[in-house]
Amino acid sequence: MELFTELADISKHENIAIALGTFDGVHAGHQQIIGQAVQLAERSSGTSVVFTFSNHPLSIIDPERCPPFIMPEEEKVEIIAGMGVDILMSIPFDAKFLQLMPAEFIQLLMRNFRPAHVVVGPNYTFGFQGKGTPEILRKAGIAYHFDVQVPEAVLVEGSLVSSTLIRQLIAGGDVQQAAKLLGRPFTMDGKVINGDQRGRLLGYPTANLPIPPGMVIPADGVYAVQIKIGTTWLNGVANVGVNPTFNGQIRRLEVFILNFNGDLYNKEVRVSFLSRLRGEIRFAGAEALKEQIIRDINDAQRFF
């Protein structure tokens, strides 16, 4: 997949099928939109393109209302690449884009892409104050000779798949339901840092990861997880929280890896959240915490 991080003219490519959207989380609904663009390009021996933004538009439009992101940009690129997209143009949404009228945005599309097919979600908006709609795109398509596809919204177990709902589920700890809407488990990436070494003293050493700023965080508690080290996935138990038993103040992610003995300090890892086992609890002391850790490990092993 070819990646552009700035607006570029790629109109020389033939039969472009372009998917438009913010695609925050690249959830099941987004996958349907992007997948349809890929299929349209394949049928016409054309080029599939995703045109998106590397930041949420609300970070410019109304920063106070900007939601936390579901995944870092690197993972978003990785997932879109895995869908067979030929070109990803992921550029910053800035004040200049904010001022574009819908007609000007359509001119930008024609100038830089000259698409044969445009695929958007039913709630897609574009242009100043979001005044552009799929219907306006359809009318433009008649004038500029491209067709517009608007796949129906995706429902999972009766729930409309949306980034907003996924954030709510993750923040509430329901990572299993969030995974169904995402189409894969929610993950967090990070570099292992030094912790307080309490896990090691208790006999259960943990890999400590900082909480990424601006990202949606699972509710405090204990989770069955898998951790990716290099290309290997291992089962584990993770705690998200401030470690109230020891009057902790800094929220972090700690992972105890089942059947593992090794040094992960300074290594980049990925943690995949599979199921919440319990909420965070303040214990009377180290011994009570150690007993609960044993129960948590047993619960995780039963889950796996």
pLDDT digits (tens, 9 = 90+) for 155-207: 999 999 999 999 999 999 999 999 999 999 999 999 998 866 555 555 578 89
Q: In whole angstroms, give the CA distance from residue 159 to residue 178.
A: 11
Q: Whole-model pTM above 0.75? A: yes
Q: In whole angstroms, give the CA distance from residue 104 to residue 176.
A: 42
pLDDT of residue 141: 97
pLDDT of residue 262: 83
pLDDT of residue 284: 66
Cβ neighbours, 10 Å, residue 63: 9
Region class of 21: left (phi > 0), else alpha (psi between -120 and 50), else beta = left
Q: Residue 67 — pLDDT band, cuts 50, 70, 90? A: very high
Q: In whole angstroms, give the CA distance from residue 206 to residue 187.
A: 18
pLDDT of residue 247: 54
Half-sphere exposure of 274 (CA within 13 A, CB side): 17
pLDDT of residue 296: 94
- Which residue is listed with tokens 């920063």? 63
Q: If DSSP codes are grouped into helix, strand and coil, which group holds residue 223?
A: strand
Residue 210 makes CB contacts below 8 A (sequence gap 6+) with 190, 191, 193, 252, 253
Is 167:216 a contact under the CB 8 Å cutoff?
yes
pLDDT of residue 252: 87
- Kindly state the percentage of the chain with pLDDT values over 70: 94
**pLDDT tens-digit profile of 136-158?**
999 999 999 999 999 999 999 99
Q: Residue 249 — pLDDT band, cuts 50, 70, 90? A: low
